[in-house]
Structure 1
C-alpha cells in the first residue's frame, strides 16, 4: 500500500495562526502530527510548534519500532512543552492540543493518540468515523447525559479538561490497539476550527468528488463560506490516503505549516 498526503492551515479571522501541522513519511511508515495552541494564555503558537517538532524528531530517531505503540508521542509532546515553558518564562502557561497518527504500510496498521479537541477521522468506503474522543467539558457533559444537542457551534465546547500540559492523561488519549488497514482507507487529522466548520457529511461529499487528497482538501475548504470571517478560528488539517487510488508513493517531509495547501 502507498501513502499520499495533503495539508492545509488557514489563519481564519485570527491575528495569529496557533495551529501547527507536520509529517514525516517514506514508503514504509509515516508519522503525522497536528497541534492547536490553546487560547487564553500567551504562546499558543510556540507551544504547538515545539510539540509537533519534537514528535517528528523523536519519530525520525527510531521509526521502525514506533508503529504499534504510540504512547511515545505523548511523552515527546509533554517533554517539548515543558522545555518550551522553561525557555520562555513569559509564556509559562502556554499549552496546546495534539493529534498524532502513525501508519505502517508493511504491517498494514495505524495507531494514534490525542489530547484536547483536535480530531482524527477514518474514512472507510467513503464513510466517516471519528477515532478520537474530544476532551472537552461539553463532550463530557453530553456523555453523562447532562447536556443535549450537537457540539458544533457552541462556544462552551472550547473548555478542555485534557491537553498536552495537563497533569493527568485520560484513558481515551490512546487508541485501544493498532487498527488493521484496508486498501482505500483515508485519514484526516484536523483542528477544532476545521471540524467545526466542515461537518462529517460535507467531508464525505467532498471525498466522493475527489481523485486526490489535494482536491479533497480543496473541496472541504470550499465548503467553508468565508475563511477570513471574523468569527473563524484557525482551521488546519492533514489528509492521508492509503492504497491504490494513489498512482505512486509520495515521499515527503513537511515543516510546521502556516501557509495554505501543499501536497
Structure 2
C-alpha cells in the first residue's frame, strides 16, 4: 500500500475569469485526479471544464475496479457529455475543454492516465522527469515530423492551436492513454497541469523546484512564484492550474 498527498493550484492569471477546473476522488483502493482547461468564449470554457471534471470523476466512481483500463473510453463518454450540454445561442454553444486524468491503484501500486488536448501529465521518479504526455496540438505535430524543434514549442506563435479537445465530434476526437498499468513506487511524483503553467516553466524548472520542496503544496507554491515572475508585465496571461500527487511509504 502507498500513502498519498495531493495539492491543488488554480489561478485566474491575467484573465477576467478562470476557465480551468480540477478535482479528485478516492476510495479504499483508488485515487482519481482530473484537470481540465476550458475554451469557448463568453465564459463557456468554465462550464466545459467543470463539466469535464465532474463527468469524468462520476464515471470513475461508477466503475472503480476497471476504470484504469477503461479510462480512454471514459474520456470519450465525457466528450459526449459536453456535446450534450451545448445549447445554441448560449455561452455553451461552442464550449470545449482539454482534460488529463490520472488513476492510481495504491494497493496494487499501479497508475493509468489519459488525456485530450494540451493539458499535461508529468511523472517524476527520484525527483527526475521520467515521462510526460504529448499534446494534441498543431505544434506538437510539427515537432513529431521534424519541422519544429521541441525547444521551440513553448513559444511558437501557434502553440495554442489544438488538434483535439473535448467538445469535438466523436469521429474526430483524439484521446491518448498511457502505456496501460504502470508500476509505481514510493517516492514517485505526478504533476497534472494546464498550458498556462507549462508554457512558462521548462522541465528543469519542474525538477529544480521539486528537488527543493518538502511537500506537494510547497512545490506548487514554488511553481506559482515562477509563473508569476515569468508573466510579470504581460497583461492578459492565461489561467494556470496544477495538481501534485506524491506517493510515499505509509507510516503505520
Query: Does TM, scored on the shorter chain, surpass 0.5?
Result: yes
In the TM superposition, what are the counterparts of 1:92-103 in structure 2 within 5 Å? 92-103=93-104
Q: Secondary structure at 2:235's aligned position in 1?
A: coil
Query: What TM-score do you get using the length of structure 2 for normalisation?
Result: 0.90
Residue 207 of structure 1 corresponds to 210
Residue 133 of structure 2 corresponds to 132
Among residues 187, 191, 195, which one is paired with 2:194 in the alignment?
191
Once the two structures are superposed, residues 179-207 of structure 1 have per-residue CA deviations (whole angstroms, 9 ceiling, x without a partner) of: 11122110000000011112211111111
Query: What TM-score do you get using the length of structure 1 for normalisation?
Result: 0.86
2-structure distance, mates of 1:157, 1:41? 22
C-alpha displacement of 1:88:
7.3
Q: How many residues align?
A: 246
1-structure distance, mates of 2:70, 2:126? 26
In the TM superposition, what are the counterparts of 1:35-46 in structure 2 within 5 Å? 35-38=36-39, 43-46=44-47
Contact 1:120 1:187 in 2 (8 A): yes
2-structure distance, mates of 1:73, 1:12? 30
1-structure distance, mates of 2:230, 2:205? 15
Once the two structures are superposed, residues 93-134 of structure 1 have per-residue CA deviations (whole angstroms, 9 ceiling, x without a partner) of: 110101001000112111011011000000111111343111
Residue 239 of structure 2 corresponds to 234
Q: Which has the bigger relative contact order, CA under 8 A and spacing at least 6?
A: 1
Unpaired runs of 5+ residues, structure 2, are none
2-structure distance, mates of 1:166, 1:122? 27
Once the two structures are superposed, residues 124-159 of structure 1 have per-residue CA deviations (whole angstroms, 9 ceiling, x without a partner) of: 111113431111101101111122342112231000
Worse overlay, 68-77 or 213-222: 68-77
In the TM superposition, what are the counterparts of 1:51-66 in structure 2 within 5 Å? 51-66=52-67
Contact 1:68 1:110 in 2 (8 A): no
Unpaired runs of 5+ residues, structure 1, are 249-263
Query: How has the CA–CA distance of structure 1 residues 153 and 101 changed in structure 2, closer, same or farther, with 3 Å as cutoff?
Result: same
Q: Secondary structure at 1:151's aligned position in 2?
A: helix
C-alpha displacement of 1:89:
4.4
2-structure distance, mates of 1:116, 1:209? 30
Residue 216 of structure 1 corresponds to 219
RMSD of aligned Cα (Å): 2.1
Once the two structures are superposed, residues 50-84 of structure 1 have per-residue CA deviations (whole angstroms, 9 ceiling, x without a partner) of: 11111111112231221333123313311220222
Q: Secondary structure at 1:17's aligned position in 2?
A: coil
Among residues 173, 195, 206, which one is paired with 1:169 in the alignment?
173
1-structure distance, mates of 2:243, 2:9? 7
